[in-house]
Amino acid sequence: MSSSGINVQEKELSIPWKAIVTSVPLWAIAIAQCSQAWGFYTLLTELPTYLKQILHFDIKTVSFS
């Protein structure tokens, strides 16, 4: 019984893990996120090589140090 005198039944809610894991939208979002991150970091790590070998851009001449 709660403080206001009304009976309140507390029901423990279970998490529907099977429905979550088998959800197509969840997998689509996860795959899209992983693909975006992979593409971003690939471009990020290859950019200096591209600038030097393809564009013949010397990073040292325009750096702050």
Domain that holds residue 53: 24-62
Q: So what's the pLDDT on residue 33?
A: 98
Instruction: For Cα atoms 36, 40, 46, give the angle at the middle one, nearest 5 degrees.
Output: 145
Residue type at position 47: L
Q: Is residue 7 part of a domain?
A: no
Q: So what's the pLDDT on residue 10?
A: 79
Q: So what's the pLDDT on residue 27?
A: 97
Q: So what's the pLDDT on residue 2?
A: 53
Q: What total number of domains does the chain contain?
A: 1
- pTM exceeds cut of 0.85: no
How do residues 24-34 score in pLDDT, each as one tens digit?
Answer: 999 999 999 99
Under-50 pLDDT residues of the chain = none
E strands, the chain, where?
none
Instruction: For Cα atoms 9, 10, 14, give the angle at the middle one, nearest 5 degrees.
Output: 135
Q: Is residue 16 part of a domain?
A: no
Dihedral sign (CA 44, 46, 51, 55): negative
